A and B are shown apart, each in its own frame.
Chain A
Amino acid sequence: MDFFAGRFGRCILCDNPLAGEGPTSMSAQQKTRVVGEAVLRKEGRDKLVGRACYVDDIASDGMLFGVTVRSTIPRGLIKAITFDPAVNWNEFTIVTAADVPGENRIQLIIADQPCLAEHEVNHCEEPIVLLAHADRQKARAAVEAVRIEYEPLPAVLGIEESERRETIVWGEDNLLKKFLLEKGDVDGAWAGAARIVEGEYRAGAQEHLYIEPNGVIAEWNEEKGVAVRGSMQCPYYVLKSLKGLMGLPEEKVRVAQTETGGAFGGKEDYPSILACHAALLAKKSGRTVRMIYDRAEDMAATTKRHPARVRHRTALDGDGKLLAMEIDLDIDGGAYATLSSTVLSRATLHSTGPYLCPNIRVRSRAWATNQIPYGAFRGFGAPQAIFAMERHMDEIAAAVGMDPVELRRRNFLHTGDKNATEQLMREPVPMDVILDRALKESDFYAKRERFARENATSDIKRGVGLAAFYHGSGFTGSGEVYLNSLAGIDVTQEGRARVLVSNTEFGQGTNTVLAQVAAEALGIDYNDVTIAVPDTDEVPNSGPTVASRTSMVVGRLIERAGGQLLKMLREEAGLGERYTREEFFAACERHRARHGEVHSESRYEAPPGIHWDDAKYHGEAYGAYSWAVYVAQVAVDTVTYSAEVEEFWAVQEAGRILHPVLAPGQIEGGVAQGIGYSLYEKVLNESGRMVNNQMTNYIIPTAEDIPPIHVSFEELPFAHGGYGAKGIGELPHDGPPPAILNAIRNATGAAVNSVPVLPEDLMEVLAAREATI
């Protein structure tokens, strides 16, 4: 640790010739009072006493309950919609595509997804008719009384079918998006290779399973327009869709987040659809309409992680150094474009791992199918790509007879190197130090030796495996520039500083961390800072709460807004260099008396040296990277074929750690989801429908399944992040799948190349292996 601080502490802040470009934030090296302290979660008390108000907790008096009639086939033409005459439909509000006042589209990247299907359906569970009734039970029962007749069309249900293009279900060629990433001369590299290793890896869908299902409440007023409250990550995304659908100007659309019980990407894009549905019912009925999915509907109808197939072909020289990497990465995007292009981009950019390689070609494609559209999920394509890369590294090591740790060490990127998009690694690359620490903390080599000895005489085979990876923080490429985020701080008449952002709290700690940053920047107490409700009528658009960007990007905006507010108070309201809390708020009141408000805001500026070329897919893909090495210890029971993670080590560098309880909490939670993705969570799909859409048969890890998770951080403050922060939220989902499957490889000798791996999958691989021995 000391060694580490000495080595990088010096170069990052003082004389690293690469780090010194452009103005850097001095805050990264400052001693802080609030940042880095274990302050109590802002909304924690409300959550613990049962007072936090989630959307389903809002009193429903006088509201209608909205429900959805969905397609039961993956693809077809709608021939007729009939309503069972046994039901008194006069009691119901009924909405179809014909009731859409504006454009019948969900506004995301490409507006190809209808809000309600009109002439055709392109996936199961596609919404066709909306019903609302004052009685929730009656509303739910009525769904079965609406009959849709179809003329079925041939459906495409996977990557292989889609890429054959025998049936075209989207555009001219089923291709939602493709990228080509090239560096050096791959074709010229194979001839000089000492060794070429190939492999194919697959990653399945995954359900978010936030504990609070999706839900919204919509109100309609002829003069004021539409207002929606609900569980969501991105109020301004919802606003954009409502504007287009309802044909309203921005000032007639209002969206506010209610307390949100988990999201993980599952409430990034989907709430736009639900909000549009509720808004249509509210407009037609003239009543307030609530739509709260039950668990089965939420699991069946909402987005999942994209299934992926990744093929690697890798050339090495005689010393185990990477000469060339050719990667074909394909994901199933589902029936509409949704976020698949950006998920594919992040997958592409993470597919080559934290390694230096002179010759690279990645061809990536997102395929349209008639599956329910896949969407954002923690990691956003990176976990699938990193699973393939890191599983492949162990297979390369086995093929060339090298220690997989040494293979990685020989190929790590270092400061001053250029990665796959030829982004210069300006900031220190700490992979060697993190690797050493992970090996030491997990006692990696001693365990490998001991387990090899013990396994020989036991039905329980133990093993350890690791994964090395990086995760880019913030939006990809020019994304942050396009977002053009604006964040503010004001001081209320009640004497509280208030953070004004559209970023949302859904468990990860946004409220707490941004309040810490504001308190630090303003030189006041944490308890003197509040967070404004993310309501589009009240807060500026500081961008979506996604992509591990909040602490780094929005944190930095709040830090700057705080600095500007202080400067203003010093120059215009007589605040001294040193001041007490009372003096601060007294200066605010003097300023308010003169100007009517105390307010400051800050807009995103790209750090210097960040250039991304979309056309060439080349340049600075991310403002910063977080780095990690994860180690899993597993036990495989060769009688029952069950695999269990016995212990887990997560070592990472994610910039400055702003909160010593919340940050490791993010890592532990992400590792647990990653363990679930590796060993438990299998979406069973039959003809385009999820058939295990219950907690009973879609299994997430319980308290008895999660092993001790040891979390450690190296801290290298990032000059352009909020008080030195980099992204942290998604990183921990990347490492567990490859680390666990590499540990299974170590334990059993079997190369299992797909996740999830349930006992039946492991049995297949191990039995096949026994048969060949």
Chain B
Amino acid sequence: MSAQWPAIYFTVNGAKKTVNVPPMKRLLDVLREDLRLTGTKEGCGEGECGSCSVRMNGELVNSCLVPALQAEGAEIETVEGLARNDELHPLQEAFLEHGGAQCGACTPGFLMASAQLLERNPRPDLDAVREALAGNLCRCTGYMRIFESVAAAAARAEEKADAR
């Protein structure tokens, strides 16, 4: 039934993907339904909560607001791409140890937003963390431990860099 739509090509977490979907289908649904990458969550469907945050060509986007056609040729990164084999990303380790995740529904979005922040600003101060994460809503943690997790991940990344 999908063959009637023209193919859209893009890469997800480094792997080439082709999908035949309606051009206005939300990237969120393409990831979750067509590619079975269900780590990316829908929280509101209107770009308010950030649970569906993914990176597209290095920019943080709400995948519920991106039509599939717009992803043509793009490099998409999702939460499934953070860990390398079985080794957690420093952010995942830090969220696990510092209580940055409770119910987990907002977590993939927070991880992507945090990864974006640390890539641009490896040692952010608290205000920079608050600002970078203000587009993601969490209802469980009160954010304190998310801030702490991001700071811990930044410190760990720096240690690793120093060790090299």
Is A6 interfacial (CB-CB < 8 Å)? no
* Contact in complex: B46, A50 (CB < 8 Å): no
Closest residue of chain B to A212 (Cβ to Cβ) is B105
Flag if A665 contacts B111 (CB, 8 Å): no
CB neighbours (8 Å) of A41 from chain B are 96, 99, 101
Given A261-B41, A262-B139, A668-B142, the answer on whether A50 and B80 have CB atoms closer than 8 Å is yes
Could you tell me if B143 and A54 are in contact, using CB atoms closer than 8 angstroms? no
| A598 smallest CB distance to B (angstroms) | 31
A522 CB to nearest chain B CB (Å) = 24
Interface of B is mostly: loop
- The answer to whether the Cβ of A84 comes within 8 Å of any Cβ in the partner chain is no
Distance, CA A261 to CA B138, complexed state (A): 11
Binary contact readout A332-365 vs B (1 if CB under 8 angstroms, 0 otherwise): 0000000000000000000000000000000000
Contact across chains for B145 and A40 when beta carbons are under 8 A apart: no
Contact between B139 and A47, CB atoms less than 8 A apart: no
Binary A-proximity of B123-164 (CB < 8 A = 1, otherwise 0)? 000000111011111111111111100000000000000000
Identify the closest chain A residue to B136 (Cβ).
A703
Q: Does A709 contact B (CB under 8 A)?
A: yes
C-alpha gap A53/B135 in the complex (Å): 24
Known: A211-B106, A668-B141. A50 touches B40 (CB 8 A): yes
> Count the B residues whose beta carbon is within 8 Å of the partner chain — how many?
55
Contact with B along A253-278 (1 / 0, CB 8 A): 00000011111100000000000000
Chain B proximity of A39: nearest CB distance (Å) = 10
A54 partner, pick from B102, B105, B135, beta carbons under 8 A: B105
- Tell me the chain B residues, 37-92 only, with Cβ under 8 Å from chain A: 37-46, 48-49, 51, 78-80, 82-83, 88, 92
**A772 in the interface (beta carbon within 8 A):** no
Q: Does B6 have its Cβ within 8 Å of any Cβ on chain A?
A: no
A447 to B78, CA, bound (A): 46
Nearest to A696 among chain B residues (CB) is B48
* A673, B88: Cα distance in complex, Å: 30
Interchain CA distance A51-B143 in the complex, whole Å:
22
Known A-B contacts A295-B43, A704-B131; A44 and B101 likewise in contact (beta carbons under 8 Å): yes
Instruction: Flag if A661 contacts B48 (CB, 8 Å).
Output: no
A430-470: CB near B (< 8 Å → 1, else 0) gives 00000000000000000000000000000000000000000
Query: For the complex, is A210 an interface residue (Cβ under 8 Å from B)?
Result: yes
Q: Which of B38, B48, B80, B83 contacts A695 (CB 8 A)?
A: B48
**Known: A211-B41, A259-B104. Contact between A661 and B142, CB under 8 A?**
no
Could you tell me the distance in whole angstroms from the C-beta of A766 to the nearest C-beta in chain B?
28
> CB within 8 Å of B: which of A46-64?
46-54, 56-57, 59-60
**A49–B96 Cα gap in the complex (Å)?**
11
Could you count the A-B residue pairs with CB atoms below 8 Å apart for me: how many are there?
167
Contact B144 A668 (CB under 8 A): yes
Taking the nearest CB of chain A, how far is it from the CB of B97, in angstroms?
Answer: 7
Given contacts A49-B88, A50-B37, contact A209 B139 (CB under 8 A): yes
Judge if A36 is at the interface, Cβ distance under 8 Å: no
With beta carbons under 8 angstroms apart, the residue of A264, A507, A673, A708 that contacts B104 is A507
Compute how far the CA of A670 lies from the CA of B141 in the bound complex, rounded to whole angstroms.
Answer: 8
Question: A47-B101, A662-B99, A702-B137 are known contacts. Are A211 and B142 too (CB-CB below 8 A)?
Answer: no
Residues in B neighbouring A44, C-beta threshold 8 A? 95-96, 101
- Near B by CB (< 8 A), chain A positions 627-657 give none
Chain B residue numbers with a CB within 8 Å of A59 are 36
Question: Taking the complex as formed, is A294 at the interface, i.e. its CB lies under 8 A from any CB of chain B?
Answer: yes
Cβ-based interface call for B15 (8 A): no
The chain B residue with its CB closest to the CB of A671 is B142
Contact between chains at B139 and A694 (CB < 8 Å): no
- Min Cβ gap B111→A in Å is 7
**Chain B residue nearest to A706 in the complex (CB):** B143
**11 sample A-B contacts, Cβ–Cβ < 8 Å, listed by A number:** A48-B107, A50-B38, A54-B105, A210-B105, A211-B105, A261-B104, A662-B99, A694-B44, A695-B44, A700-B139, A703-B129
Show the binding face of A for B, using Cβ within 8 Å. 38, 40-41, 43-54, 56-57, 59-60, 208-212, 259-264, 294-295, 506-509, 661-662, 664-665, 668-673, 694-696, 700, 702-704, 706, 708-709
A665-B145, A706-B144 given; name 20 further pairs at CB < 8 Å: A44-B101, A48-B95, A48-B96, A49-B79, A49-B88, A50-B38, A56-B38, A56-B41, A210-B103, A212-B43, A260-B103, A661-B98, A665-B144, A669-B139, A669-B142, A694-B44, A695-B48, A703-B130, A703-B138, A709-B142
